[in-house]
Chains A and B, each alone.
Chain A
Amino acid sequence: MKTLQIVETAYRATVEEQDDTIVWLTHAMTGAGGQFGMLLTGNAVCYAVHGQQVPKLTIGEWQQSHAPDLGADVSALVAKGVSLYAVEEDLEERGLRDAKLSESVTVVPRDELPRLFEEYPRVWKW
């Protein structure tokens, strides 16, 4: 059953987890046969921005091996057949209207969300 994942909270424990845990969960469930779309809203629209680089964290002598690469992770979802959307007004509010976004993201004005929701039998918000 096709499910629309709405991701709003961004950068929550992403360095500590080395992933966005909902993007990761969506990857894992897709691997188990799940069919998803993903709507980035609120601060999570930042994940649609191309080319972000998170520095590796160092604490004492511990150095992080794999800093999160959220842009790549959402793009990789697209490669698995997940449709990716970002709310236009949230991009604008954050000065990202003219940013270089992932090629696979569809920018959706807020007033089209009802239409988008109707395309999915289930809507999960995290």
Chain B
Amino acid sequence: MSRYLLIESQDSFSSNAVQEHVELAVALKRAGNEVTLYLVQNGVLPCRSGADGEALHEAVAAGIDVLADDFSLNERGIADRDVARGVRPAAIDAVVERLAASWKVIFL
């Protein structure tokens, strides 16, 4: 079994691919892998509390660690208090740590 970091840079409002990416994350998790989803750029848009973040909720419910890039959140005016439950703001160091620890890191 492996450790996967999936970096999601797209948002579910503009791209159908995001749902498939979440399904991949969930499938990897269910297969017994450790999975983190790192949302960056417009990928953080569904994080805003009250947004239609169905795919996000699916990831959280599956036990995937969902992180949202703090720079991207700030850029889009999403304060920490406005981030949906289950999602943690994180610095990009979270990506570096996992790269250095030999996680399989995939930029989606």
Chain B interface size, as a band, is 10 to 19
Binary flags per residue of A94-111, CB closer than 8 Å to B gives 1, else 0: 000000000000000011
The residue that A111 contacts in the complex, of B27, B104, B107, B108, with Cβ under 8 A, is B27
- Measured CB to CB, the closest approach of chain B to A91, in angstroms, equals 14
Are the CB atoms of A113 and B27 closer together than 8 Å?
yes
B17 in contact (CB, < 8 A): yes
A2 sits at the interface (CB 8 A) = no
| B28 with A117: CB separation less than 8 A | yes
* A interface bracket (residues with beta carbon within 8 Å of B): 10 to 19
Partner of A110 from the list B17, B20, B106 (CB cut-off 8 Å) is: B20
A12 at the interface (CB under 8 A from B): no
Decide: B23 and A123 in contact? CB cutoff 8 A: no
User: Quick check: A125 and B33 within 8 Å, CB to CB?
Assistant: no
Whether A115 lies near B108 (C-beta < 8 A) is no
Let me know if B31 is at the binding interface, CB within 8 A.
Answer: yes
Q: Are A123 and B24 in contact (CB under 8 A)?
A: no
Nearest A residue to B6, CB-CB: A125
Select which of A110, A118, A124, A125 is within 8 A of B2 by beta carbon: A118
What's the minimum C-beta distance from B52 to chain A, rounded to whole angstroms? 22
Name the residue on B nearest A90 (C-beta): B20
| CB pair A110 B23 closer than 8 Å | yes
Residue of A113, A114, A125 near B108 (CB, 8 A) is A125
7 nearest A-B residue pairs (beta carbon): A114-B31, A114-B28, A125-B106, A114-B27, A123-B104, A123-B106, A111-B27
Give me 29 A-to-B residue pairs in the complex whose CB atoms sit less than 8 angstroms apart, sorted by A's number. Answer: A6-B106, A8-B17, A42-B17, A110-B20, A110-B23, A110-B24, A110-B27, A111-B27, A113-B24, A113-B27, A114-B24, A114-B27, A114-B28, A114-B30, A114-B33, A115-B31, A117-B2, A117-B4, A117-B104, A118-B1, A118-B2, A118-B31, A122-B104, A123-B104, A123-B106, A124-B106, A125-B106, A125-B107, A125-B108
Task: Give me the interface of A with B, judged by CB distance under 8 Å.
Answer: 6, 8, 42, 110-111, 113-115, 117-118, 122-125
